[in-house]
A and B are shown apart, each in its own frame.
Chain A
Amino acid sequence: MPQLDVTTFAPQLVWLAITFIAMYVIMAKVALPRVGQILEERQNRIDDDLDRAATLKEEAEAAAVAYDEALTKARAEAQAAIREVSDQLSAEAAERQKALGDKLAADIAAGEKKIAAARDAAIGQISEISGDLTKEAAEKLAGVKVTDKAIEDAVAAVMGARAR
């Protein structure tokens, strides 16, 4: 078996040492740092990208919050403005209505006064006419001269009984 030939041991061990040490030095100093560096760079790049994505997400969320706030504020402002205008309008309307009501009430009162005056005048005329009528009727029918005073009293009595 060639493996047990002791004379070949020395050259094999010498070259194993030479090649393995060379291998170790090349791996440790050149090859492995290069691979490790690239793997690290990639990991850093991925981490950076993830960080940036997180930052952007935060910014987007902040912008959304700001937008919501602005929207709420604008809505509140708009509502306040609407309320103010509508308050003003309703106040004006109420004022105008009140003025109209006052005017109407004044007109009504004036009309009622006029009506009352007209009625008083009419009632006065009625008692006058009915006095004349009574006087005439009494003269023509009964041939009695009735004094104005008596007629006035009689009419006033009747009118007083009827009038309310």
Chain B
Amino acid sequence: MANPLSQFEIKPLIPIEIAGIDASFTNSSLMMVLTVTAVTAFLTLSMRGRALVPGRWQALAEVTYEFVANMIRDNVGSEGRRYFPFIFSLFMFILFGNLMGMIPFSFTFTSHIIVTFGMAIVVFLGVTLIGFIRHGAKFLGYFVPSGVPVVMMPMLVPIEILSYLSRPVSLAIRLFANMTAGHTMMKVFAAFIIPLGFLGGWAPLAVDVALTGFEFIIAFLQAYVFAVLTCIYLNDAIHLHH
């Protein structure tokens, strides 16, 4: 375990192969299943009482619900209500994935570029599809900035298209890089604690304690950023503002 990157290794637990595709149940899959289970438990068990005046857990579940609902209302407006379950699922999936990755010896599936890219490309394709369904060919007008001289168009339109296409890439890399960098850094400092001995080991330990708190903030913040950017992209597709 000396290698700080070994924590990101995918270990197949149950080898499965369907139609020639490797679908093994891995440590990553296990954390994904646990994330879904935890989110479901959090939302259903806390609401079991259906109390008019909520208790602690119910209040927490309601706050989470309203947090995402307000995020969509502020960034997308009333048309965004239809996409509330998707954005809520996305936010909670990433948030719980990040938080459960903070448990020692567990695995952070959001630290893998293929997972974050998979989510980002779904958002990107979905948003583009919604734009074309709502506005048809007029959605292409999104790439033509308004109030700009026609001479500038040959230069600006490719830039707009490029910036639009880079959205899923930046979305995926932001989450993956944040999680990977944070966990790697913690591991690097942790590796120094024992070799530096009883006297010198305190310094990297203190850094790791601080990093742990920092990582919890990052875990929330990156889930929030992913969800907010999804809302903003959705708003662009629905309202075509530029």
Check B32–A3 contact: CB distance below 8 A. Answer: no
Q: Shortest beta-carbon distance, A116 to chain B, in Å?
A: 108
Choice from A2, A17, A32, A39 contacting B10 with Cβ under 8 Å: A2
Check A32–B65 contact: CB distance below 8 A. Answer: yes
Q: Shortest beta-carbon distance, B158 to chain A, in Å?
A: 30
Check A26–B32 contact: CB distance below 8 A. Answer: no
Q: Shortest beta-carbon distance, B70 to chain A, in Å?
A: 12
In the assembled complex, A142 has its CB within 8 A of some CB on chain B = no
By a CB distance below 8 angstroms, the chain A residues around B16 are 11
Choice from B9, B10, B84, B180 contacting A12 with Cβ under 8 Å: B10
Q: Name A's interface SS.
A: helix
By a CB distance below 8 angstroms, the chain B residues around A35 are 43, 47, 61-62, 65
Of the four ranges (under 10, 10 to 19, 20 to 34, 35 or more), the interface on chain A belongs to 35 or more
In the complex, chain B residues 4-26 whose Cβ is within 8 Å of any chain A Cβ: 5-6, 8-10, 12, 16, 18, 21-26
In the assembled complex, B29 has its CB within 8 A of some CB on chain A = yes
Q: Shortest beta-carbon distance, A41 to chain B, in Å?
A: 7
Output the nearest chain B residue to A28 by Cβ-Cβ distance.
B85
Q: Shortest beta-carbon distance, A14 to chain B, in Å?
A: 4
Check B39–A3 contact: CB distance below 8 A. Answer: no
Check A12–B26 contact: CB distance below 8 A. Answer: yes
By a CB distance below 8 angstroms, the chain B residues around A27 are 39, 43, 85, 88-89, 92
Q: Shortest beta-carbon distance, B121 to chain A, in Å?
A: 10
By a CB distance below 8 angstroms, the chain B residues around A41 are 52
Q: Shortest beta-carbon distance, A78 to chain B, in Å?
A: 52
In the complex, chain B residues 87-133 whose Cβ is within 8 Å of any chain A Cβ: 88-89, 92-93, 109, 111-115, 118-119
Check B113–A3 contact: CB distance below 8 A. Answer: yes
In the assembled complex, B206 has its CB within 8 A of some CB on chain A = no
Q: Shortest beta-carbon distance, B116 to chain A, in Å?
A: 10
In the assembled complex, A143 has its CB within 8 A of some CB on chain B = no
Check A15–B40 contact: CB distance below 8 A. Answer: no
In the bound assembly, the distance between CA atoms of A135 and B113 in angstroms comes to 173
By a CB distance below 8 angstroms, the chain B residues around A20 are 32, 89, 93, 119
In the assembled complex, A119 has its CB within 8 A of some CB on chain B = no
In the assembled complex, B66 has its CB within 8 A of some CB on chain A = yes
In the assembled complex, B230 has its CB within 8 A of some CB on chain A = no
Given known contacts A11-B10, A12-B115, is B86 in contact with A39 (CB within 8 Å)?
no
In the bound assembly, the distance between CA atoms of A10 and B19 in angstroms comes to 12
Check A42–B52 contact: CB distance below 8 A. Answer: yes
Check A14–B5 contact: CB distance below 8 A. Answer: no
Check B92–A23 contact: CB distance below 8 A. Answer: yes
By a CB distance below 8 angstroms, the chain A residues around B44 are 30-31, 34
Q: Shortest beta-carbon distance, B227 to chain A, in Å?
A: 13
In the assembled complex, B134 has its CB within 8 A of some CB on chain A = no
In the assembled complex, A160 has its CB within 8 A of some CB on chain B = no
Listed A/B pairs (19) with beta-carbon separation below 8 Å: A3-B114, A8-B112, A12-B109, A12-B118, A15-B32, A19-B33, A19-B35, A19-B93, A23-B92, A23-B93, A26-B36, A26-B40, A27-B43, A27-B85, A28-B86, A32-B43, A35-B43, A35-B62, A39-B62
| A residues whose Cβ falls under 8 Å from a Cβ of B | 1-5, 7-20, 22-24, 26-28, 30-32, 34-36, 38-39, 41-42, 45
Known: A3-B114, A22-B36, A38-B58. 9 other contacts (CB 8 A): A5-B10, A8-B26, A11-B23, A12-B10, A14-B23, A27-B43, A27-B92, A34-B47, A38-B47
